[in-house]
Structure 1
Amino acid sequence: MNLAANVSVNLAANEGLADVSNALIYSAMAVYAVAFLAYTAEWIFGSRSRVGRTAAALDAERPARAAAAPATISVAVRKGGSTTVLERPAAPEVVTRSTGPGRPEVPDGPGAAGGDERGDTYGRIAVSLTTLAFLLHFGGVLSRAISVERGPWGNMYEFSTAFSMVVVAAFLAFLLARKNVRWMGLPLVTTVLLDLGLAVTVLYTETAQLVPALDSVWMWIHVPLAIVCGGLFYVGAISSALFLLRDRHEAALAADPQARPRGASILERLPSSVTLDKFAYRINAAVFPVWTFTIIAGAIWAESAWGRYWGWDPKEVWAFITWVAYACYLHARATAGWKGRKAAYLAIAGFVCFLVNYYGVNIFFDSLHSYGGV
């Protein structure tokens, strides 16, 4: 009787924690929604800061300063008891790298790019709300883990909530490191809301223990690494998508400096295409080796669970396709003819392959990995 009573109490406690987890996730969604409105207000109503205006003024004055600069400067050199005046050429204005053939470099936009723009009222409110939502989100994932007494990524609902939590954590970590990534806030919060909405409606699964094949130490290695890689690949994909928009905008301005392309007021607030391209490349290049290890860890786990390292299961196939896509992207970035837009398309294609690997395989394919519970 005592044992049965203890089991009953534990089950009730677990169900209570699961309810707490659900409440925290819904609360996080509500705060993310308000943050979305704040980011939208920043993009629509946010004006150029004093720092942005100063930078723009300096850019406008650069040709005049260059024309007025002396060709040589005098340098006094003391040797022994005498002083000799030498003339040497003045240091030239630093020439920045162009963003394309015949195009000068365009400075980063002042708005949601972060940095000195953090003083913007709407931006500060948005980041503060995102931080609060993340804390609620983290609490929801943690309480789910405690309720099921395992890692909170045993089904598609748990994977989705953990995935979007990693995405927001990466965004806030970049902000704490004083990286200019506030431009990412609006698209990031939008997709996080969509992901959580899908998770709590279509993908929701009641708390349950793992099937035997998943009850392994590799559950704490392979799956968390896949979540982290997916979250960071998503950050890189956002950067590549915005790079394509900004690059097209800069090309239109280079062709006609007096033109005002559609969406110019928004696109001009983004970092330059060069900055976006570099950021996407650094993210994807850093994550690729981890994704490689994630696939290897999955193969080791497969041998332990099913007696073979690789069986061309749909999940394994799409994981490998994703690896090939990002390998092609990194190779393209190292090849002169494939930099820029072509490489960005490959980065986006790689993340699409990751999504197919997760959603498509789990829902539409008959796979040994289909533990989605939908």
Structure 2
Amino acid sequence: MAQYEMTLFWIAVACYGIAAICYIFGLLARKEALFNCALSIVVVGFCGNLGSVVLRWIAGGVPPFIAISESLASGVLIAVFVFLIAQFVVRNLEAAGVLVMPVCFILLGWAGTLMKGIGSTMPPALQSTWLWTHIFAATIGFSCVLFAAALGFLFLLKENQSGGVYEKLPGLQRLDELGYRFISGGFVFLGLMMVSGALWSNQVKGNYWNWDPVEVWSLISWLVYGIYLHLRITMGWRNRRLAIYALSAVVVMIISYWGIPFVSENFHTGFRIEH
């Protein structure tokens, strides 16, 4: 089963990489046909990504999001799922793949370099309902703000370009509004991530907040998006400034979500499954 899992995993990596190239060249050449081709490739990659995650879960009998490589693979899976759903809910957003798919390709490829054996036991600290809520909220929150960053990128492109695929993009006001909605959703889910994480921490360690680096950076990320909402709702910011803000903020989110757990030994990394 491990062989099938890894085959599907690398198929997903390859598909995401090819799709990313198609999206980029589609934008540069202003060829909508390349976007359509890329979307089909993303669907194939998503199926491979999903299959590898499911097979790993079945083989190990434990949730496939405990090790950093598993967290990356599962997080990318949800991000691509949100991207695909958005394609069918909102028309003419194919070009969002120009940002979403390169990020997903890099993160999933990184996961492949970190992949280890399948976990066989689950520590008591991870056997909590709050863990599921925590992971679900974190992945949905990240997916929302990543897509919002892609919308911000499209806003900046459409503002300075015309003709071809740019004409088919939603209007600037529509892109601005969609970015706001996705960040609002991401803000709610990131808040749920922190609350469920605090309850989980109290269940395991007897206190709600430990000031470990992941907790601190999660709070920073949440506040960054809280500031975005404050700037829009209270200060009246719109359009270009918020598009740039959304692009910058997602970098903080990526560092918080995967970078800090990778380099820091703390509560989160201290309870990894032994392989």
**Per the shorter chain, which TM-score range?**
0.7 to 0.9
Q: In structure 1, what is the Cα distance between the partners aligned to 2:18 and 2:239?
A: 35
Which one has the bigger helix percentage? 2
Label 1:361 to 1:35 Cα distance change in 2 as closer, same or farther (>3 A). closer
Of residues 102, 106, 116, the one that matches 1:205 is 116
Contact 1:42 1:122 in 2 (8 A): yes
What's the counterpart of residue 35 of structure 1?
A: 19
CA RMSD in angstroms comes to 2.5
Of residues 65, 80, 97, the one that matches 1:185 is 97
Q: In structure 1, what is the Cα distance between the partners aligned to 2:170 and 2:208?
A: 44
Q: Kindly indicate whether residue 71 of structure 2 is the aligned counterpart of residue 159 of structure 1.
A: yes
Of residues 343, 357, 363, the one that matches 2:256 is 357
Report the alpha carbon displacement of residue 156 of structure 1 after superposing the two structures with TM.
0.8
Query: Mind listing any 5+ residue stretches in structure 1 that lack a counterpart?
Result: 1-16, 48-119, 251-259
Contact 2:19 2:38 in 1 (8 A): yes
Q: In structure 1, what is the Cα distance between the partners aligned to 2:33 and 2:85?
A: 21
Label 1:133 to 1:299 Cα distance change in 2 as closer, same or farther (>3 A). same
Query: More relative contact order in 1 or in 2 (CA 8 Å, sep 6+)?
Result: 2
Contact 1:166 1:227 in 2 (8 A): yes
Of residues 137, 142, 145, the one that matches 2:54 is 142
Q: In structure 2, what is the Cα distance between the partners aligned to 1:211 and 1:354?
A: 27
Query: What SS is found at the alignment partner of 2:14?
Result: helix
Q: Kindly indicate whether residue 157 of structure 2 is the aligned counterpart of residue 240 of structure 1.
A: no
Report the alpha carbon displacement of residue 365 of structure 1 after superposing the two structures with TM.
2.7
What's the counterpart of residue 299 of structure 1?
A: 198
What's the counterpart of residue 246 of structure 2?
A: 347
Q: In structure 2, what is the Cα distance between the partners aligned to 1:369 and 1:334?
A: 34
Equivalent position amino acid for 2:187 in 1:
F
What's the counterpart of residue 207 of structure 2?
A: 308
TM-score after normalising by structure 2:
0.87
Label 1:204 to 1:310 Cα distance change in 2 as closer, same or farther (>3 A). same
Report the alpha carbon displacement of residue 123 of structure 1 after superposing the two structures with TM.
3.0
Larger radius of gyration: 1
Query: Mind listing any 5+ residue stretches in structure 2 that lack a counterpart?
Result: none
What's the counterpart of residue 38 of structure 2?
A: 126
Q: In structure 1, what is the Cα distance between the partners aligned to 2:251 and 2:22?
A: 28
Which one has the bigger strand percentage? 1
Contact 1:148 1:207 in 2 (8 A): yes
Q: In structure 2, what is the Cα distance between the partners aligned to 1:32 and 1:273?
A: 28
Q: In structure 2, what is the Cα distance between the partners aligned to 1:170 and 1:359?
A: 19
Label 1:342 to 1:186 Cα distance change in 2 as closer, same or farther (>3 A). closer
Contact 1:325 1:347 in 2 (8 A): no
